[in-house]
């Protein structure tokens, strides 16, 4: 991403639901893009260093609906001067491939070690970003949800930004829903 | 050498083990949180090094380090965590850790930190003798 290369906060794309740009512009006035850039960096660092997979981060966009079409999600909560949550979400096959690479073993999605691995990926993405968010914050231990058809409930007054990611092992998303208090 | 790995993620402990096995013959003791670690320390005397995560359920790593240092001032402890803010590093050093490694880490970075920490601890023991 050009913005990432110049270390500027990433520009947000218009929402994928086709709403006019004017709507996206109104919403972005309440969202600080500087909260997103640290996650763009941490995603690339974590997947490259710990999983050995180069990840390309696509243009983030505001999420305007609550649908969630993934089979595996790992959620980290934030508290303190930054509140909200960050969710890594994958389709089943992508999750299995990334976990196999990370953990060094093929694991079924119902194996407890599978959830552990997914949780640790989210922990590192959130943790590595935290230091660049400004202010002091704490992160929770991860929660992992497995099974398609799940939705993620978030703080109602906090915008959710979807950071789409592509890798040789499949696509996934990181949903960042945090604000400074 | 006996190393205590304290991290609530089994995946992370396995990665640490794989990396540290390159140091030679190592016996690993594992704990999923600070409370388990205190039990493990009592059950396994002669631990040469502790690798401690920060964010864990039941008892976090910082609290564990404080508790360990109440009685043991010498066993080397490395904090291995996602917590990278300067204030956190300072807090950990004040609590008594000897070194600090931030996740994500490369195997070489982990290995170097461990060897550096052990060498320094060995030098301190030699100087005290």
DSSP A38-49: HHHHHHHHHIII
Whether chain B has a CB inside 8 Å of the CB on A95: the answer is no
**pLDDT per residue over A14-62, tens digit each?**
444 444 433 333 334 356 788 999 999 999 999 999 999 999 999 999 9
CATH topology of domain B2-128: Rossmann fold (3.40.50)
C-beta of residue B18 within 8 angstroms of C-beta of residue A104? yes
Whether chain B has a CB inside 8 Å of the CB on A97: the answer is no
Partner-chain contact B10 A116, CB within 8 Å: yes
Determine the pLDDT at residue A65.
79
Structural domain boundaries of chain B?
2-128
What's this model's pTM, rounded to 2 decimal places?
0.86
How many residues make up chain B in this entry?
129
Instruction: Classify each residue of B78-96 as buried b or exposed e, where b means 16 or more C-beta atoms within 10 Å of its C-beta.
Output: bbbbbbbeeebbebbeebb
**pLDDT per residue over B19-75, tens digit each?**
999 888 899 999 999 999 999 999 999 999 999 999 999 999 999 999 999 999 999
- The pLDDT confidence band at residue A67, using thresholds 50, 70 and 90, is confident
Determine the pLDDT at residue A3.
34
C-beta of residue B12 within 8 angstroms of C-beta of residue B53? yes
Calpha distance B81→A141 (Å, rounded): 12
Q: How far is A15 from chain B (nearest CA, A)?
A: 31
Calpha distance B92→B55 (Å, rounded): 13
Comparing A8 with A150, the larger pLDDT belongs to: A150
Calpha distance B36→B19 (Å, rounded): 23
Contacts of A119 in chain B (CB under 8 A): 9
Determine the pLDDT at residue A170.
97
Contacts of A49 in chain B (CB under 8 A): 104-106
Calpha distance B8→B60 (Å, rounded): 10
| Mean pLDDT, residues B103-113 taken together | 94
Determine the pLDDT at residue A11.
57
Give residues with Cβ within 8 angstroms of A40, minimum separation 6.
Answer: A1, A4, A10, A57, A60, A163
Partner-chain contact A120 B82, CB within 8 Å: no
**pLDDT per residue over A89-140, tens digit each?**
999 999 999 999 999 999 999 999 999 999 999 999 999 999 999 888 999 9
What residues does A78 pair with on adjacent strands?
Answer: A84, A139
Q: For A2-180, CATH number?
A: 3.40.1550.10
């Amino acid at each position: 991403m050009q913005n990432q290369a110049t270390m500027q906060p990433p520009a947000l794309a218009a929402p994928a639901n086709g709403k006019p740009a004017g709507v996206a512009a109104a919403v972005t006035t309440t969202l600080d893009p500087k909260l997103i850039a640290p996650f763009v960096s941490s995603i690339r660092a974590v997947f490259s260093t710990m999983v050995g997979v180069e990840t390309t981060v696509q243009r983030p966009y505001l999420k305007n609906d609550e649908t969630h079409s993934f089979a595996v999600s790992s959620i980290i909560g934030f508290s303190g001067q930054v509140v909200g949550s960050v969710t890594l979400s994958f389709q089943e096959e992508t999750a299995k491939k990334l976990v196999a690479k990370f953990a060094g073993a093929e694991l079924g999605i119902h194996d407890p070690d599978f959830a552990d691995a997914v949780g640790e990926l989210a922990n590192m993405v959130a943790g590595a970003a935290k230091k660049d968010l400004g202010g002091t914050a704490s992160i929770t231990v991860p929660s992992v949800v497995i099974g398609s058809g799940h939705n993620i409930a978030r703080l109602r007054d906090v915008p959710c930004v979807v950071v789409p990611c592509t890798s040789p092992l499949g696509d996934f998303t990181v949903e960042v829903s945090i604000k400074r208090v | 050498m006996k190393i205590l790995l304290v991290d609530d993620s089994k995946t992370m402990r396995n990665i640490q083990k794989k990396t540290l096995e390159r140091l030679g013959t190592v016996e690993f003791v594992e704990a999923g949180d600070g409370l388990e670690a205190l039990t493990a320390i009592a059950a396994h005397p002669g631990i040469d090094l502790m690798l401690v995560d920060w964010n864990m359920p039941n008892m976090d790593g910082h609290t564990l380090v404080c508790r360990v240092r109440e009685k043991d001032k010498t066993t080397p402890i490395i904090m291995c965590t996602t917590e990278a803010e300067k204030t956190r590093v300072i807090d950990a050093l004040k609590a008594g850790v000897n070194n600090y490694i931030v996740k994500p880490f490369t195997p070489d970075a982990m290995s170097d930190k461990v060897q550096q920490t052990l060498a320094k601890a060995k030098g301190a023991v030699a100087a005290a003798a």
